[in-house]
């Protein structure tokens, strides 16, 4: 699978989530807390890093994985934003969606069912720029 | 807060993602499998 084929709705959903992370999570919260964006990103990443090791306390496997997933998504997103700057966050969000599209676009027609499909996919993802 | 507080846009986005995930493959696969079963019968 990787992500069983992203459809338009899924990419729109992730775009809304990602843009919300910038508009609400960073811009709004930083203004409210009197922080710079850089300080806000650092604080959020630090909070998430402290949360992840505690998540083993959630017994339900699906709920634990779901929680780890969303926290890690936000963490990865903020790391990209720190690197790229939030000025062009809509463009960067678009590039992240291109990356997800690339993941499935490579997997389904080319790699699925090949002996090293996931290994090859991971190597391609490593080379794909965001 | 760890995820800097979800706002409505973020929650709507996740809802869209979940709906897309469900409608895209789970339902498609279910329908395809059902179709294949029917074809076999």
d(CA A102, CA A82): 23
- Nearest CA distance, A109 vs chain B (angstrom): 16
A32-60 pLDDT per residue, tens? 889 999 998 998 899 999 999 999 999 99
Q: Which residues of B touch A74 (CB under 8 A)?
A: 2-4
Distance CA A36, CA A122 (A): 35
Say if B39 is an interface residue toward chain A (CB within 8 Å): no
pLDDT average, residue stretch A4-16: 84
Question: Would an 8 Å CB–CB cutoff place B30 in contact with chain A?
Answer: no
Residues recorded for chain B: 41
pLDDT for residue A127 is more than 90: yes
pLDDT, average across residues A93-116: 85
More confident residue, A30 or B5: A30
* Tens-place pLDDT, residues A67-104: 999 999 999 999 999 999 989 999 999 999 999 888 88
- For residue A37, what are the CA distances in angstroms to A40, A51, A85, B9? 5, 21, 9, 20
Tokens 């338009």 locate to: A8
Name residue, tokens 């710079």. A36
Residues of B in contact with A17 (CB under 8 A): 9-10, 13-14, 17
C-beta atoms of A13 and B18 within 8 A: yes
């Amino acid at each position: 699978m990787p992500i069983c084929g992203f459809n338009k709705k899924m990419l729109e959903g992730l775009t809304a989530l990602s843009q919300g992370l910038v508009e609400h999570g960073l811009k709004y919260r930083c203004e409210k807390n009197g922080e710079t964006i850089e300080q806000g990103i650092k604080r959020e990443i630090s909070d998430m890093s402290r949360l992840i090791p505690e998540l083993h306390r959630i017994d339900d496997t699906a709920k634990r994985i779901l929680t780890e997933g969303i926290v890690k998504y936000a963490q990865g997103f903020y790391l990209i934003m720190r690197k790229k700057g939030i000025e062009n966050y809509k463009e960067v969000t678009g590039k992240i969606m291109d990356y997800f599209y690339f993941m499935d676009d490579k997997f389904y027609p080319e790699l699925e069912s090949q002996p090293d499909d996931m290994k090859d996919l991971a190597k391609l993802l490593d080379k794909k720029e965001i | 807060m760890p995820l800097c507080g979800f706002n409505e846009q973020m929650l709507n986005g996740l809802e869209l993602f979940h709906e897309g995930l469900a409608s895209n493959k789970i339902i498609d696969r279910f329908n395809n499998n059902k179709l294949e079963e029917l074809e076999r019968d």
